[in-house]
């Protein structure tokens, strides 16, 4: 049993060694958080998602995903700040300004997600679940590069300031 847990730890270490893999782990946790919050709200509010739903149920079906999405974005920002991009953020605190950038990148990432989802669904006759997975993957790449080069890009800026010669007065 001891060997099993050692092997499990080695697999975890190997998978999370690379920044992109840590980003994927974080994103997966975000997907789980999003889905759980959505389903908890459906259950608490007893929303009928069937064909015989009321207008109020229909409105709730369009509003409730926002809560799970926002919770997942907050969670992902915190984990990415503290773990995924730890080297980049070691001298920077968690802040509303950085979260705003992260949220903007996350919203922007919805564009390729839904574009690819629609492309797969309409033009390739793929099931909605598979098209959704493809869309999530497309959005994930945009989100990763936006996070890496827009939100958590501090070290490059600090190095540029150090390397720039100071002007003499």
Specify the pLDDT at position 166: 57
pLDDT at 124: 83
Residue 9, pLDDT above cutoff 70? yes
Quick one: tokens of 15? 């998978």
pLDDT above 70 for 120: yes
Q: Judge whether residue 112 has pLDDT over 70.
A: yes
Q: What is the mean pLDDT of the chain?
A: 85
User: How far is the C-alpha of 23 from the C-alpha of 84, rounded, in Å?
Assistant: 6
Q: Where are the alpha helices (DSSP H) in 17-79?
A: 19-44, 55-79
Q: Is the pTM of this model over 0.85?
A: no
As a whole number of angstroms, the distance between CA 152 and CA 101 comes to 9
- CA-based torsion, 12, 17, 18, 24: positive or negative: positive
Nearest CA to 134 out of 116, 118, 122 is that of: 116
The pLDDT, as a whole number, for residue 158 is: 52
pLDDT number for residue 125: 76
Query: In the prediction, which pLDDT does 146 show?
Result: 93
Report the pLDDT value the prediction gives residue 56, as an integer from 0 to 100.
92
């Amino acid at each position: 049993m001891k060997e099993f847990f050692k092997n499990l730890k080695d697999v975890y270490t190997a998978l999370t060694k690379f920044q992109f893999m840590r980003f994927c782990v974080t994103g997966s946790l975000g997907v789980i958080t999003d889905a759980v919050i959505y389903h908890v709200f459906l259950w608490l509010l007893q929303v009928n998602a069937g064909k015989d739903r009321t207008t109020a149920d229909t409105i709730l079906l369009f509003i409730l995903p926002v809560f799970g999405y926002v919770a997942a974005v907050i969670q992902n920002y915190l984990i990415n700040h503290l773990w995924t991009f730890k080297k980049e953020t070691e001298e920077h605190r968690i802040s509303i300004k950085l979260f705003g950038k992260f949220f903007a990148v996350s919203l922007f990432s919805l564009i390729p997600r839904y574009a690819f989802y629609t492309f797969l669904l309409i033009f390739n006759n793929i099931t909605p679940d598979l098209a959704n997975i493809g869309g999530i993957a497309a959005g994930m790449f945009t989100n990763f590069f936006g996070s890496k080069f827009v939100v958590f890009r501090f070290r490059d800026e600090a190095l540029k300031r150090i390397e720039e010669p100071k002007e003499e007065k």
